[in-house]
Amino acid sequence: MQKIIKITTSIFFIFILVVFYISLNNTSDYDTENLVGIKLEKIKLESFENKKYLTNENLKKNNFTLINFWASWCAPCRVEHPFLMELSQEKNLKILGVNFKDKRNNALNFLDNLGNPYHYLAKDDQGKQSIGFGIYGIPESILIDKDFIVIKKFVGPLNLEDLNEIKKITNLL
């Protein structure tokens, strides 16, 4: 009996200390990786140009769609913009821009000055739709495939590495 208690106690402490050691080398930062692999079934976004809605119906013929959340007031969005311009040339990829909590005129100016990489443009005035996409700060981008399954999520501005990765994924087809 005593022996069992001794062994379990020792194992218990060793277990705790080992887990502490493992977690030292982990980052405790939050990410939204869990959205990857999930199907975005009910996409419904207000169009930027008119009163209509953008839904899964509009996107279903695309091989890949990159949903990009942006705003004219967001400084990092300017940083990633050249990469989006480059991606807009990709043949297997269409880009859906969601203008986030922005003023219409500012958004239009932004696109006039820096170019418009978006094949579709939607708006989310109050930011409510973005919650359905698991967005918590812009810029964020979500890459989905033909079946609306999330392949990858990019939090923060896209960089060169992300650009190449997206190109690689879309060109595999």
Partner 1 sequence: MLSNIGNSLLFLNVIISLLIIYYSYNCLKISNNLIFKKIYNLSLFQSTSILICFFTLISAFLISDFSLINVYQNSHSLKPVFYKISGTWGNHEGSLLLWVIILTIFSFLFLISNNKHPKDYRLYTLIIQNLLILGFLFFILFNSNPFGIVNPVPKEGLGLNPILQDPALAIHPPLLYVGFVGSSIYFSAAMASMISNYNDKPFAKSIKSWVLISWVFQTLGILVGSIWAYYELGWGGFWFWDPVENASLLPWFAMTALLHSLLVLEKRKALYFWTIILCLLTFTLSVTGTFLVRSGILNSVHTFANDPTRGIYILIFLSIMISASVYLLFTKYKPEKSHVSANSKETFVLINNWFMMFYLLTVLLGTLYPIFLDALLKSKISVGPPFYNSVIIPVVVVFLVFMAVGPQAKWIKNRFINLKQLLAILVGAIIINFAIIYFFKSYSVISNLIIISSLFLIISSLFDFLKKSETNLSRILSHLSFGFLIFFIGLNHNFSIEKDFNLKLGETKIIDNYKFVLKDLELYNQSNYKTIIGKLQVRNVITNEERILKPEIRIYENPQTLTYEASILTNFFKDHYLTMSNIDRSEYYNIKFQEKPLMIWIWISTIALSFGGFLSLFRNAKNN
Partner 2 sequence: MKFKIILTILLVNFYSCVLSDEIINENKIHKNLRCLVCQGQSISDSNSDFAITLKIVVKDLIEQGKTEDEIYNFLSEKYGDWILYKPKLNVVNFLLWFLPYFVLLLGGLIVFFIVRKNVKKT
The closest of 95, 45, 43, 38 to 65, measured between CA atoms, is 95
Q: Which stretch binds partner 1 (CB under 8 A): 23-31, 123-131, 137-145, 157-165?
A: 23-31
104 near partner 1, rule: CB under 8 A: no
The single-letter DSSP state of residue 149 is B
Strands (E), the chain: 44-47, 53-55, 64-70, 93-100, 120-124, 140-145, 150-155
Q: Is 27 in the site for partner 2 (CB under 8 A)?
A: no
Out of 42, 51, 128, 168, the residue judged to bind partner 2 by CB under 8 A:
128
Query: Which lies closer to partner 1 via its Cβ, residue 2 or residue 89?
Result: 2
- Structure token pair of residue 8: 């379990």
- Told to judge if 74 belongs to the known catalytic residues of this protein, a careful annotator would answer yes
Read off the tokens for 43: 């996409």
Among the residue ranges 17-25, 40-48, 61-69, 76-84, the one whose residues contact partner 1 (CB under 8 A) = 17-25
When CB distances are held under 5 to 8 angstroms depending on the partner's kind, the choice from partner 1, partner 2, none that residue 149 binds is: none
CA distance 25 to 60: 42
Interface with partner 2, residue 32, by CB under 8 A = yes
List residues with catalytic annotation: 74, 77
